Structure 1
Amino acid sequence: MANRMGMCPNIGNCSVANSRTQVPLTEEENAACPECGRLLITVAAPGGKSMGGGRGKLAAAAALLLLAGGAAAYFGGLVGTREQASPVAVAASASQPAPQPMPRPAAPATPPAVSQPQSAPVQSAPARSEPAPPSQPSKPADGAAPAAAPAAAPAPAPEAPVILRISGSNTIGAKFGPTLVERFLASEGYSVVGRRSPVADELIITATRDGKQVAVTVAAHGSATAFSDLEQGKTDIGMASRPISAAEVNRLKTLGDMTSPSNENVVALDGLAVVVHRSNPLAALSTAQIRDLFNGKATDWSQVGGRAGPVHLFARDHNSGTFDTFQALVLGKTPLSDKAQRFEDSRELANAVAADPNGIGFIGLPYIGPTKALAVAEKDANPLLPTVFTVSTEDYPLSRRLFLYVPTTSINPLVLNFIEFALSPAGQGIAAEVGFVPLTIDSDIVTSVPETAPAYFGGKHPAGTAESARAER
C-alpha cells in the first residue's frame, strides 16, 4: 500500500492540484491532500506502473478525466475575465472539442413598401450591440466562428410598421394621393416626418405619434395595378382614373361588389387634356382629328389644319387609366400608333411635349403646366377647353371621374377613415389645390340685388314693365 500515489482534484483552489503533483498515499483508506484536505484520488504507482490491473487503468483514466474537466471548467471561466488563458486551462481544453457559439437569429429582411403582405407588419426589435473583444483575442479553434470585429457597428434603425397601403393610378398617386395621406395623418394626430422614394413612382410617408413611428406606402404604377394589387392582397386602397372593368369586377368578387357605393368611391373629377407645344398655332381639334393623329392615319400637322411638320406622339403606358380613358373616349376600336412614345408618369409626358414643337399628348388637368391645352369638339358641337366649369358639368368631351376602390372585407379601420377624409371638405380642398375638380359646388353669395332688377329677383320693377324688360336685357 505504501507505493500508491494520489492527486488532489481541487484544481483552482489548491496549488498541489494546480501543479498536478502526485502525493504518496499512506496506509489509511482515505488519504487527504496535505494542503487543502480534499480526498486524494489514486492515479498510479511510482515508476509509471498502474495499480490493480484493468481496474487500475480505469481508475487512472477516470482521475485524468475528472482533473481535465475540472481544469477546463475553472480556467474556461477565467478566460472571460483575463486577457490570456493559463497553460493549465489550454492543456485541459485541448483534449475536448472547441465549444460552438450559439447561433444568432438572422435579422429579417426589410420588405418592399408596395408588397407588404400585412397591413401592419410587426416592428423588428433593434439589434443588441456586442461588447468589444479582448485586446489580444486568442485564435479560434477549428470550426469555431471567427472573432467579432474590433468595434461593434451601430444598430440599424428599425423599419416603421406600415399602417396603410395605397396603389394604382399615377394620375392620382403622383400628387393628390401623397398630399391626401399627409393631411389625413395630421388629422389623426400624427406628425409627418417626411417622404422617401425607394423606387420610381413609389413613396413611403413616415409619421410619428406618441413616440411611435409609422408609415404609409403609395405606389403609382397605373390604374390596372390597383385591381391586381387588391386581388393579390398587396394594397388596402386602389386608385383608378377610370371605372373598374367587368372582367376586373369578376376577378375581385371575393372582395365584394366593387361597383357598389361601399366599394367604389368617386373622389374627384378630371379632364383629359390634349396638349401640344406652346408654339403650336392650333387652338382646337375635334375628337375625330385627335383619333386620326394618334392612330397614325394623320402623320403631318397640315392634315389637321396646322403648319407642316411631322407629328410626334406621346402617350401614357398600357397600365394607365388615363390611356384606358383615352382609348374609350377617343380611339375607340382603333389601335394606338406604334410610333407613340409611352410614359408611366404624367409629368414626364408633359415635359416631353413641352420640349418638342411637333409633339402632342394627353394628360390630366394638374399636369398641363408647361404645355398648351387644346379645346376639344365632339362631332358638330363647339370646342371646349378643359376648365373647372366644363369638367364639373361634364360638358367637356373628355371629362372623367377619379376613383378609390376598397374591399368590403377590409379589416383595417384606417381604410374607411381615409375614404371619409378624402370626401370631406378638407379632402376636396386638396383635390382643388392640386388641380383636379372637387365634387363640391361653390356658389357666389349675392349680398344685394340691384334696384333695376325685376321684382321677382328682389328689384323694384314689377314683372312685365318696360323697366323690367330693359333690366332683363
Structure 2
Amino acid sequence: MKRGIFILAALLAWTLSPLTTDVQADNWNAFAPLKGELAISGGTAHIPVMKTLSTEIMKAAPAVRISIAGGGSGLGIKQVGEGIVTIGNSGRSPKPNEIKKYGLILHRWAVDGVAVAVHPDNPVRALTSDQLRAIYAGTLANWKELGGPDRAINLYTRDASSGTRSVFWKKALGKGEIHPRANFVKSNGAMKSALSGDPYGIGYLSVGHLDASVAGLAIDGTAPTLANVKSGAYPIARGLYSNTKGEATGLAKAFIDALYSPRGQEIIAAKGFIPVKG
C-alpha cells in the first residue's frame, strides 16, 4: 500500500425522496401545514439519523424538502454560521469563539462513542492506551508486536475538520501525535470502507457505524459497546449536536423538535446512538 496517500470520499449529499419508506404520520403532524426547504450539513456520523428522519417527514409533508450534506463538523459549524445552511451538525461542541462569532444555539440529541477498529480478519482485538498512542505516533509499526501478522500497520485518520478526529485525538491519544504517513479519509462511511478493505489497517469511527465489516477494539480492557458508552465505562465518547444560528424557527425548529420526539429518539437508538432527551 502506498504511504501518505489521500483516500478521497465524495461529499455525502442527498435530496431525499419522500417516497422511500413507510410514513410515521402520527409523529409528524406538526409538519403538515409547513412548506419550503431545509438545508442541513456537517458531521457525517449524524447522517443515518438525518436521512431516516427526513424521509419520514417528507412523506408526511410533501410540501417540505430537506437536503443533507456531510463535510465534517467544522464545515457544518461554518456553513450554519454563514447562513449557507439552516442546521449545521457537529460531532463536537462548537468552541466558545465559534458560538460567539456566529451566535450559535446548540441542540445536543445523542451521545456517541468513537471506536478504534480494524479489519475483521485481524486477530488483534484489544489495545492499551499506550499501545494506541504508539501506533499513531509511528513508534509501534508492525502488527507482530501486538500478536498479529508480521505486516506493517496501515494508519487511517480523518481530516482536521472532523469532530470524530477531534474527540479521538483528545480522548484516545491524549493530544498525541498522528504520524504524517497516516491515510486520510473524509467520513465515517469512508473509514469503514477503508478498514473493511485493508486487513492491516487501523482507524476509528462512530460506534454507531460498527458492523460485521469492521471489528471494534477494546481499549484498556473496555469494549466499544453502546452499554459501555452509556455507563461511561468507555471514555472515548462525544455528543452529537445540531446547531442553529440563533433560536431555531419554522422548519428548523420543527425538525429539531422531531429529533427529541419519541419517534426521533427511537430512530437515534436504532442507528446505534444513545438518545439525549432535551
- Which range, TM-score by smaller chain? 0.7 to 0.9
Structure with the largest fraction of strand: 2
Identical columns (%): 29
Aligned partner of 1:395 among 229, 233, 239: 233
What's the CA shift for 1:183?
2.3
Aligned partner of 1:386 among 224, 230, 235: 224
Counterpart in the other structure of 2:42: 168
1:270-320 deviation line (CA, Å, top 9, x unaligned): 111111111211121122211111121211123344343200011122221
How many pairs were matched up? 243
TM-score by length of 2: 0.81
Residues 1:267 and 2:112 are matched in the alignment: no
Counterpart in the other structure of 1:11: none
TM-score by length of 1: 0.49
Q: Is the Cα–Cα contact under 8 Å of residues 71 and 186 in structure 2 kept in the other structure?
A: yes
Amino acid at match of 1:222: G
Provide the alpha-carbon RMSD of the alignment.
Answer: 1.9
1:46-83 deviation line (CA, Å, top 9, x unaligned): xxxxxxxxxxxxxxxxxxxxxxxxxxxxxxxxxxxxxx
Q: Is the Cα–Cα contact under 8 Å of residues 162 and 217 in structure 1 kept in the other structure?
A: no
Amino acid at match of 1:345: S
Aligned partner of 2:54 among 181, 197, 200: 181
Query: Aligned equivalents of 1:386 and 1:233: distance in 2?
Result: 36
Query: Aligned equivalents of 1:225 and 1:432: distance in 2?
Result: 25
Query: Aligned equivalents of 1:360 and 1:404: distance in 2?
Result: 29
What SS does the corresponding residue of 2:148 show, helix, strand or coil?
Answer: coil
Query: Aligned equivalents of 1:431 and 1:409: distance in 2?
Result: 23
Amino acid at match of 1:312: N
Query: Aligned equivalents of 2:227 and 2:107: distance in 1?
Result: 22
Relative distance call for 1:247 and 1:297 in structure 2 (3 A) is farther
Residues 1:431 and 2:265 are matched in the alignment: no
Counterpart in the other structure of 1:371: 214
Counterpart in the other structure of 1:418: 255
What's the CA shift for 1:236?
1.0
Residues 1:361 and 2:198 are matched in the alignment: no
Query: Aligned equivalents of 1:367 and 1:317: distance in 2?
Result: 18
Amino acid at match of 1:426: R
Residues 1:303 and 2:140 are matched in the alignment: no
What SS does the corresponding residue of 2:184 show, helix, strand or coil?
Answer: strand
Counterpart in the other structure of 2:169: 327
Query: Aligned equivalents of 1:274 and 1:424: distance in 2?
Result: 31
Query: Aligned equivalents of 1:222 and 1:280: distance in 2?
Result: 29
Gaps in structure 2 of 5+ consecutive residues:
1-12, 14-34
Gaps in structure 1 of 5+ consecutive residues:
1-113, 115-160, 191-207, 378-382, 441-473
Query: Aligned equivalents of 2:218 and 2:137: distance in 1?
Result: 20
Q: Over alpha carbons, which structure has the higher Rg?
A: 1
| Superposition pairs of residues 3-42 of structure 1, within 5 angstroms | none
1:243-266 deviation line (CA, Å, top 9, x unaligned): 1123322322xx2xx4xxxx2122
Q: Is the Cα–Cα contact under 8 Å of residues 288 and 330 in structure 1 kept in the other structure?
A: no
Higher relative contact order (CA 8 A, sep 6+): 2
Aligned partner of 2:244 among 402, 406, 410: 406
Aligned partner of 2:98 among 221, 236, 248: 248
